[in-house]
Amino acid sequence: MTGGTGGIGLATAAGLAGLGARVGIVGRDRARAEAAAERVRATGGRVDVFTADVSSQREVRRLAQEVLAAYARLDVLVNNVGGFWATQHTTEDGLERTFAINHLAPFLLTNLLLPRLRASAPARVVTVSSGAQAMGRIDFDDLQGERSYSGQRAYNQSKLANVMFTYELARRLERSGVTANTLHPGVVRTGFGQEDSGGWMRVMLPLVRPFMKSPARGAETSVYLASSPDVADVSGRYFANSRPRSSSRASRDAAAAARLWQVSMDLVGLPVDDGA
């Protein structure tokens, strides 16, 4: 699972380890990741640590290699890492950071791990989106915000991309025994967005923090989708509070999802295919 060293990801790792799963967590910093793993191990959980900065496609590829070398079978992939940046940043691949981390990183990692997931069926891919998907619009003419950047617009677009990616993935995985679902975790008390929060967020966050969900509650839908027998055969759905919800009209545009898939293949350097 990506981002298991803090926030919703750590709570998801703890939840799944508590159910008896062997969990691999991914963070950028080994010491922080080891400290997080120790917290879960202290409760009896089995946790392996991987380090990678998923803003870099080179590191996502290395991560995938290490995961494939470590696990002969993969039952669940949880794509959890995501962030918000009020100002525009560029990754080492020359890509806008929100799009790169929130969409292209899970897209690339999932594709690289897909043969192992298929071979491990029944298996599941769970991608953490957000209620912000409802405000998203995929701007195919300016995916990277080169013409104009807004942190909120970039975030909304990336979280819509998570839903469209999941729906297209589910279509591609029909009858494979591998499911793909996505979710809104709720508004959760984590370090989310604090690296580069905008003025509005800086003012509002301390006021709303007491009313936010705990990370453990924010992880409930991820844990449910990753583990519950109730959803063993459910695929291509968007969830909140462990229940299926309808996602935005834009997210259900299958032609746009197929187009986004092809554009993403190109941006991560994978061969563009015919969707079969």
Q: In whole angstroms, give the CA distance from residue 234 to residue 211.
A: 31
Residue 11, SS3 per DSSP: helix
Residue 128 vs 170, nearer CB to ligand NAP? 128
Residue 4 vs 15, nearer CB to ligand NAP? 4
Decide: is 106 part of the binding site for ligand NAP (CB under 6 A). Answer: no
**Which among 2, 231, 22, 14 is positioned nearest to 122, based on CA atoms?**
231
Q: Which of 128, 169, 260, 267 binds ligand NAP (CB under 6 A)?
A: 128
Contacts of 255 (CB under 8 A, 6+ apart): none
Interface segment toward ligand NAP; rule CB under 6 A; list 2-10, 70-78, 143-151, 262-270:
2-10
Write b or e for each residue in 46-71: b if 16 or more Cβ atoms lie within 10 A of its Cβ, otherwise e. Answer: ebbbbbbbbbbbebbbebbebbeeee
Decide: is 160 part of the binding site for ligand NAP (CB under 6 A). Answer: no
Active-site choice (71, 149, 155, 167) = 155
Respond yes or no: is residue 155 known to be catalytic. yes
Q: In whole angstroms, give the CA distance from residue 251 to residue 162.
A: 9
Residue 85 vs 167, nearer CB to ligand NAP? 85
Decide: is 136 part of the binding site for ligand NAP (CB under 6 A). Answer: no
Interface segment toward ligand NAP; rule CB under 6 A; list 65-73, 144-152, 183-191, 200-208:
183-191
Decide: is 172 part of the binding site for ligand NAP (CB under 6 A). Answer: no
**Which among 270, 218, 224, 276 is positioned nearest to 82, based on CA atoms?**
218
Q: Which of 80, 110, 181, 247 binds ligand NAP (CB under 6 A)?
A: 80
30 phi/psi in degrees, rounded to 5 = -60, -45
Contacts of 132 (CB under 8 A, 6+ apart): 152, 155, 156, 159, 160
Residue 88 vs 262, nearer CB to ligand NAP? 88
Residues catalogued as catalytic: 155
**Residues lying near ligand NAP in the complex (CB under 6 A):** 2-9, 26-29, 32-33, 52-55, 80-83, 101, 128, 130, 184-185, 187-188, 190-192
